[in-house]
Chain A
Amino acid sequence: MKKTYSFLKRYGVALLSSAFLSTALFAADEAPGVKGASDEEFIPAKEVLTIKYVDVGKPYHLDVETLHGFFNDAKGVTVPLQKQDKAFPNGGGSVNNAEVKAIHDGLTVYFKVSWSDPSKNARAIAVQEFRDAVALMFPLGAVEITPAEHFSPRMGDREKPTNLWHWKADWEADLLVKGELEDVEAQYPNMHDDFNLNPYSAYYHRELITSVEVLSGGRAANNLLSQPWRGRSVEDLNAEGFGTLTTQDHQDVNGCSKYDDGVWTVIFYRSLITNDPHDVQFVPGGTSYFNMAVWNGGEQDRNGQKNISIQWHPVTLERVAWQ
């Protein structure tokens, strides 16, 4: 542990500064259909989320059952959510708040988010089906957010990049499937197909599939949404304002979830420090901010149609026990 911490101390700062410099990610456009934000959006919430130091050890299973006990002593914050009404398309409004708790063990940070949603939507295969999802967002680099220093709580801004962790209910469901992607048969059990991209199917035709890449659309284009074997339920992204959301080349975040009695509980986890300049970095004893959004698939929520928090929330990382 001690060794890891000195590693953090030595390289953490350098990584933080390189993260801060890497702002030229996207060419963000001032999209038409975007209303200006009110000043209060630039004032962070008062309540601070303390990322409590807890010796998690090496949990045998990284699932909600195993992990949730570690959050017992962590103090949560309740984040109010509302309809997204600034950028087209507007939407959301069905989820009013979510509870967030966070812990770290000097190596890994865990965020637990729970919210109530009467319908579980964990698939997006039929054209009219949308998934439940939740995202955490962090400003990239060391920033101070004040009304004088505008940093949009809505996906960041040009030159103000953010790192987003987007958990998707259907990605979690994919993980339970052989081949790690729920196939079309999950939705349409009696369907027939001649040319199957699923290598476990009797109709898989490797030569055909690999010779005509274009036929597999998003898969050939390396769209992470289309890929089997993602091995995770959380997508690691960056954004610099509306419409700029971009999947990172390097995926570092994981998650697990549980849906019980109308309540989703999602735990995100990632190592405190990564060596990806596009990632937020967490230094014990340090501070940052987070913001979040929840999508209710049952209400056709997706993209800007979501339940959002319109304020940044400060976070502090407790020092590790030996600090």
Chain B
Amino acid sequence: MTLVHNWHLGRRMEYPYFESRPKHQFAAVFNINRCIACQTCTMACKSAWTYNKGQEYMWWNNVETKPYGGYPQSWDVKTLKLIDNGENTWYTDEKDEKLSPYGVYEGDTIFEAAAKKNINQWAVGYIPEDKEWRAPNFGEDVAKSNKPDEYSSLPEHSRWFFYIQRLCNHCTYPGCLAACPRKAIYKRKEDGIVLIDQKRCRGYRKCVEQCPYKKPMYRGLTRVSEKCIACYPRIEGRDPLTKGRPMETRCMAACVGQIRLQGFLDDNPKNPVTWLIKHDKLALPLYPQFGTEPNIYYIPPRWAPRSYLRQMFGPGVDEAIDKFMVPSRERLAVLSLFRMTQTIIFEYKIEEGPKVFETTIHGKKFELYNDTVIGLGEDGQEVVRTTVEEPVYIRDPKHYNSI
């Protein structure tokens, strides 16, 4: 084991390989508040990569309902139990902007739990059986009541659920990669995408077992495992549509609810993804306590119980929700970039516009400026331009009745 720094946990942790961060890291921000579970993303992925034989049960991208949904069933609860040592708490009194922005996680990661339990493999995990993968929408739209013994009454129904959009997190410290005894899984230096070498894989399913997010999937037809490939031909700019510029994945580009923004996590504070994740801390990692430093980040839903959300996204939840409910001027501008283009945005610029509205939200003053936000591509050229206020088009009276 070597010691590596995991900034989600705010500390060093044990991992079988040295810390080796890519040039920039494939990452995305999902705004849970806006997802309508239309599964367009799911189908975009399916129709691109997994419509073939032996892949029927594979949903590299899936959207499940929390708290009851899960694909494979109860994947998160089962993994949480495996790392539970009774003291999976966070120390949040001291934070370091760079090294421990959410405080320090004091529990065990999947790697540390394995070492403690002396199970002689790299991480704790389990292999979900075929029946657990069989019903990806199990529990969809099933609400949880905060008062299970009472009927809900107006004015407020105290019931909740929310959707969580999941794909491989292309983790910085992948559990799948650590688990593979053959080193058939590798993380690309150029963009941090994690891939299974289809020639070296021997179908041992150690990755299926030790990925805490259950994203590698075994294909009975070829007797080897497959996983999300982050649409790497698009990421490499090989789709003619973006003229050689890196292009967002299928699931991102298809998002109807406009909840997704994909890019690369790097050191540029004006990179929209980096800004939302590292600077504004509006978007949070999913189950950071697993210890893999996952790279899909979520803006948590406003309405779900905070304790549940803290378990899922760590201690940054309260701050993120407060920020989301009363967005700052810059935050609103950056959020306006979501789904405005499928060319990956490397940097944003804001041109200030007039103030158009002001109000008070939860006792806090809120001002809306109609700023223009400009997205620049990898080559520094403008790839998109939009305004905070969605433009309104009024139909010419002579077309009122035409279709």
Interface set of A (CB-CB < 8 Å, partner B):
29, 32-33, 85, 87-91, 124-128, 170, 183-184, 187, 191, 193-198, 209, 215-223, 225-226, 242-243, 245, 302-304
Contacts and interface: CB of A to CB of B under 8 A. Distances in A.
B16 A303 contact: no
Given A217-B198, A218-B199, A127 B133 contact: yes
Given A215-B49, A303-B182, A303-B202, A125 B220 contact: yes
B58 to A, nearest CB: 11
Given A183-B53, A197-B54, A303-B206, 4 more contacts: A187-B220, A218-B223, A225-B222, A302-B205
A55 B17 CA distance: 54
B51 A218 contact: no
Contact of A128 (B52, B129, B181): B129
B384 interface: no
Interface residues of B, number: 41
A222 B199 contact: yes
A128 B132 CA distance: 11
A184 B221 contact: yes
B120 A196 contact: no
B219 interface: yes
B135 interface: no
Interface string B97-121: 0000000000000000000000011
B127 interface: yes
B222 A218 contact: yes
6 contacts: A184-B54, A194-B51, A195-B53, A217-B198, A226-B224, A243-B182
B147 to A, nearest CB: 39
Interface string B224-263: 1010000000000000000000000000000000000000
Contact of A216 (B17, B204, B206, B222): B222
B122 interface: yes
Contacts of B223: 124-125, 170, 218, 225-226
A127 B128 contact: yes
Contacts of A217: 198, 219, 222, 224, 226
Contacts of B179: 89
Nearest to A197: B53
B218 A87 contact: no
Given A184-B220, A215-B52, A218-B198, A225 B181 contact: no
Contacts of A245: 182, 202
B120 A90 contact: yes
A225 B120 contact: no
Nearest to A183: B221
A240 B382 CA distance: 52
Contacts of B206: 89, 303
Contacts of A29: 183
B1 interface: yes
A125 B221 CA distance: 7
A127 B221 contact: no
A230 to B, nearest CB: 11
Interface string B136-163: 0000000000000000000000000000
Interface of B: 1-2, 16-17, 49, 51-54, 56, 120-122, 127-130, 133, 179, 181-183, 197-199, 201-206, 208, 217-224, 226
A199 B90 CA distance: 56
Nearest to A127: B218
Nearest to A196: B53
B127 A128 contact: yes
B183 A127 contact: no
Given A187-B220, A303-B181, A193 B56 contact: yes
A216 B52 contact: yes
Contacts of B130: 126-128
A195 B181 CA distance: 32
Contact of B16 (A33, A215, A221): A33
Scoring B2, B133, B198 by chain A CB atoms within 10 A of each residue's CB, the highest score goes to B198
A299 B312 CA distance: 33
B183 A220 contact: no
A126 B220 CA distance: 6
B204 A218 contact: no
Contact of B2 (A32, A193, A215): A32
A225 B203 contact: yes
Nearest to B184: A243
A198 B220 CA distance: 13
Contacts of B56: 191, 193
Contacts of A33: 16, 122
A242 B224 CA distance: 19
Given A195-B52, A197-B52, A223-B224, A89 B201 contact: no
Contact of A87 (B49, B181, B219, B220): B181
Contact of A32 (B1, B128, B221, B226): B1
A124 B182 CA distance: 19
Which are the 8 A-B pairs with shortest beta-carbon distances?
A: A125-B220, A89-B121, A90-B120, A218-B222, A226-B222, A221-B198, A221-B199, A218-B224
Contacts of A85: 120
Interface centre among B49, B128, B206, B223 (most CB of A within 10 A): B223
Which of B53, B183, B217 has the most chain A CB within a 10 Å cutoff?
B53
B386 to A, nearest CB: 34
Contacts of A243: 181-183
A304 B226 CA distance: 21
Given A128-B130, A243-B183, A302 B222 contact: no
Nearest to B120: A90
A96 B217 CA distance: 32
Contacts of B199: 218, 221-223
A187 B218 CA distance: 14
Given A187-B220, A217-B222, A219-B222, A302 B204 contact: yes
A91 to B, nearest CB: 8
Contacts of A225: 202-203, 222-224
A218 B221 CA distance: 9
A27 to B, nearest CB: 10
Contacts of B51: 194-195, 215
B205 A127 contact: yes
Contacts of A221: 197-199
